[in-house]
A and B are shown apart, each in its own frame.
Chain A
Amino acid sequence: MSRRWAVAALLSAAVVAGGVANAIDDRYVASGWHTVERGEEGADVRVANFQVHVHGAVTSTRLEDGDVVTSPGAFVVVDLSYATTDAWDSPEEVVLIDGAGREFGEPSGFGSAARAWEAGPDIWSRGTLLFEVSADAVDDLTLEFRPQSPDARLPSAVLRVPLTVTAATEPLTVGRARILAEGER
């Protein structure tokens, strides 16, 4: 009789294991399986093959883009530095996410240099990234740094850093990234 119970238990365990695997596949693998690393401003944080240091962010409704342009929402310029650990590479994407889960990517149509740049192994470069967000999102923004493109078949990691966004009185400007001296951020 005890052997029957053992067989029943093994069968039940197999069914449960299959159900759990199916649930994991549905919820994570099939929709992008990633780990979220959490960091803070003013500190070096490592995610995948990148090292990231977020300095801060400023916001304004106006942007110096050849002419001064005005946003119906708000422009946000994030100041950050990053390097890799292995070879020259650029992150797949850097986005802002607000408290409601809305995602703001790199805006198009602006002449300002604002795209994520390539960085070298332990060769840090510092630059700015431009975003345009809804006015009500400014107070609760998190930067999400995505080293790789999401692939449903492979686990990956993203970095989230909550931003302290200060208001600027002047129109925002965006500059090209520059290589930093050793030890600088």
Chain B
Amino acid sequence: MTGTTRHGITGDSTATRRRPGPIATTIAAGVLVLSLGWWGWFATEQARAGWWDVGQHVGIGPDARGWAQVDNLGVGVRLQGVEALAVVDEEQPPAGFAYLALDLEVVADGAPQSRSCTVQVRDARGRLFEAGREVPYADPYVSLLECGSSDPEEPVPAEQSMLVLVPVDAELVSVRVDAIDFPPARFIELPVP
């Protein structure tokens, strides 16, 4: 059906229908984007929560005295020293690697809870080298960092040393300490001097 508008323009009757103005279009587009965003946020809640909870995303750094604390657990760790060793207990690392000795101070004065912490050394490329892997079993080095005790008669050793196998050319950045019951996404991160 065709007709003539009062402005004298001839065309299809649907063409004369009032179109929404730019403000209405903007509002409608905004509502659409917000709706899609909310839906996407809602639909991915489980995935985001799982990814966030199981990963290391929030580093707890050291205070002025070098102590990094997980307050609600009463766990604190301080890095005393880092030294690359060519030989440990007459055992040499494979060519191109070194044994890195980490000396750590640990306090665990929270609720009695048996706990061991994993210790990793991070390099500038983001690689994480785990302490106690493929290293000699030799005194005074431990393969797991004790960072909680369920027996008040046997508190955690205040000083503990660990070995880490690292490539000799790795540019070491920090030492990470983590445990399964640390708050979600949180870990201790101590800069390598």
Contacts and interface: CB of A to CB of B under 8 A. Distances in A.
A122 B167 contact: yes
A149 to B, nearest CB: 14
B116 interface: no
A23 B14 CA distance: 39
B96 A121 contact: no
Contacts of B134: 120, 123, 125, 179
A3 interface: yes
A85 B167 CA distance: 13
Nearest to B126: A86
B125 to A, nearest CB: 8
A181 B168 CA distance: 11
Given A3-B14, A86-B127, A87-B130, A120 B165 contact: yes
Interface string B62-103: 000000000000000000000000000000001111000000
Given A123-B134, A181-B95, A88 B167 contact: no
Interface residues of A, number: 17
Contact of B167 (A86, A87, A182): A182
B127 A121 contact: yes
A181 B93 CA distance: 9
A179 to B, nearest CB: 5
A9 interface: no
B130 A120 contact: yes
Q: How large is the interface on B (under 10, 10 to 19, 20 to 34, 35 or more residues)?
A: 10 to 19
Contacts of A85: 127
Contacts of A72: none
Contacts of A88: 128-130, 133
Interface in A117-132: 118, 120-123, 125
Nearest to A182: B96
Contact of A182 (B95, B127, B130): B95
A183 interface: yes
Interface in A165-185: 179-183
Interface in B123-165: 126-130, 133-134, 165
Given A87-B120, A87-B127, A88-B128, A118 B96 contact: no
Contacts of A180: 94
Instruction: Name the residue in B126, B127, B165 with the highest tally of chain A Cβ atoms < 10 Å from its Cβ.
Output: B127
A50 to B, nearest CB: 14
A81 B129 CA distance: 18
Contacts of A125: 134
Interface string A79-94: 0000001111000000
A123 B97 contact: yes
B128 A86 contact: yes
B133 A181 contact: no
Interface of B: 14, 47, 94-97, 120, 126-130, 133-134, 165, 167-168
Shortest Cβ-Cβ A-B pairs, 8 listed: A182-B96, A181-B95, A121-B127, A87-B128, A181-B94, A88-B130, A179-B94, A179-B134
Given A85-B127, A182-B96, 20 more contacts: A3-B14, A86-B126, A86-B128, A87-B120, A87-B130, A88-B128, A88-B129, A88-B130, A88-B133, A120-B129, A121-B127, A123-B129, A125-B134, A153-B47, A179-B97, A179-B134, A181-B95, A182-B94, A182-B97, A182-B167
